[in-house]
Structure 1
Amino acid sequence: MSRIFFVLGKSCSGKDTIFRYLKEKKELNLKTVVGYTTRPMRVGEENGKEYFFVDRDELEKLKIEGKIIECRDYDTVYGIWSYFTVDDGQINLGKDNYLYIGTLQSYMEMTKYYGNDVVVPLYIEVETGERLSRAVKREREQSNPKYTELCRRFIADEEDFKEENIRKAGINKRYINGDLDKCISEIVETIRKI
């Protein structure tokens, strides 16, 4: 049976780094699924690689066509940014195993759409102070740092990833990212077993 290995965690938990590693580990043979967003590209991002970057008109068109699997809207200090998953042919469950990255909400919607037996959570955790330090460092590297948005995301994560929400999502296993190599090894072992 095909699986969708779903990487999730709070901002700056290392999920992007872990996602990239798993994607590049050829022996796992995981196909990636690229999500969509209406937010602007960050420095170093490429359209179709981290996300498909689209405007609000394209999002509305996809909604009308019934292709949206899940969509999350964030009221940022720069306006509404949407992140969403589209049934656009990237996933063929009879053929391959997949790798996806998203939020707790998007994980829950994906499990509704594809089923709990198909979507496997890879929940990454990092100590709160370390996450904040990483977030500030990453934002400093941007040509136009958005510290207010960083704070909004950080606070929103505390609400979104409350323990009751994690339990409600049925997530029992956590991968602690205090030591990146150890965390990745644990995740790779999980994928191999499944």
Structure 2
Amino acid sequence: MTAPETRSFVDIRVLVLSGPSGSGKSTIVDRLVNVAPVQLVKVVSATTRPPRAGEVNGRDYYFLSPEEFEQKRQAGEFIECEEVHGNGNWYGTLRSELTRAQQAGAWAFLEIDVQGALSIIKEYPDAVSVFLTTASEGDYEQRLRNRGTESEDAIQQRLETARRELKLSKEYKHIVVNDDLDRAVSEICHILASAEG
């Protein structure tokens, strides 16, 4: 009698999706989870920021106190973590989240900022990495303004961040232009089907 085959830690299949604010990541993520040709488990990030209205711990984020976050960081439980936007709030990806996806026989799907993505790509060089962009920089600004949730200073800060992130897009295996939602989702599905095959 042979032992059941187990997948090693390095066999975890990983999809990384990044893009500047206003590139349409959230909409793409929601659609992909439902239509992708492979099973995707959305990785839940951890953060020290307080929950916003309607956010649920364990679904939207793992909301940790700064002390809890630091304990996990010191214990090496994060694949990547950093302070984001310079406001004192930390974000990170727990290793246990990738294990959760692996145990479900699925791909770990990370919607993550560029700096975090580069750390994931370094640790998982076989990861399928997709940088989502719009047709022009003006599209980012228009989408941010249409949200109606950002101050002018916040908009300008996000646009500056977008410019920096765009320069790093060449670090990704794939760049997808989100000028048409259906086409962008279809393109990412094709990328996943090719990687799985």
Instruction: Bin the TM-score by the shorter chain.
Output: 0.7 to 0.9
Cα drift, residue 27 of structure 1 = 4.9
Which residue pairs with 1:135 in the alignment? 144
Q: Which runs of 4+ in 1 moved over 6 A?
A: none
Whether 1:18 and 2:28 are equivalent positions in the alignment is yes
Which of 63, 71, 83 is residue 53 of structure 1 equivalent to?
A: 63
Which residue pairs with 2:91 in the alignment? 83
Q: Which runs of 5+ in 2 are unaligned?
A: 1-10
Task: Please tell me the residue identity of whatever aligns with 2:131.
Answer: Y
Q: How does 1:113-124 map to 2 (within 5 A)?
A: 113=123, 115-117=124-126, 119-124=127-132
Cα drift, residue 177 of structure 1 = 0.5
| Distance change in 2, residues 1:71/1:65 (3 Å) | same
| Cα separation, 1, equivalents of 2:49 and 2:185 | 29
Structure showing greater radius of gyration is 2
The normalised TM-score by structure 2 is: 0.81
The normalised TM-score by structure 1 is: 0.82
Tell me the number of residue pairs that the alignment of Structure 1 and Structure 2 aligns: 182
Which residue pairs with 1:36 in the alignment? 46
| Distance change in 2, residues 1:68/1:122 (3 Å) | same
| Distance change in 2, residues 1:48/1:136 (3 Å) | farther
Whether 1:66 and 2:76 are equivalent positions in the alignment is yes
| Cα separation, 2, equivalents of 1:35 and 1:66 | 15
| Distance change in 2, residues 1:157/1:99 (3 Å) | same
Whether 1:125 and 2:144 are equivalent positions in the alignment is no
Cα drift, residue 16 of structure 1 = 1.2
Identity of aligned residues (%): 26
Aligned residue for 1:178, secondary structure, equals coil
Q: Which runs of 5+ in 1 are unaligned?
A: none
Which residue pairs with 2:193 in the alignment? 192
Cα drift, residue 75 of structure 1 = 4.6
Q: What is the aligned-residue RMSD (CA, Å)?
A: 2.2
Cα drift, residue 48 of structure 1 = 2.0
CA contact (8 A) 2:46 2:61 kept: yes
Structure having the larger proportion of residues in strand: 1
CA contact (8 A) 1:104 1:161 kept: no
| Distance change in 2, residues 1:151/1:38 (3 Å) | farther
Aligned residue for 2:130, secondary structure, equals strand
| Cα separation, 2, equivalents of 1:157 and 1:72 | 18
| Cα separation, 2, equivalents of 1:123 and 1:160 | 10
Whether 1:154 and 2:164 are equivalent positions in the alignment is no
Task: Please tell me the residue identity of whatever aligns with 2:110.
Answer: Y
| Distance change in 2, residues 1:42/1:150 (3 Å) | farther
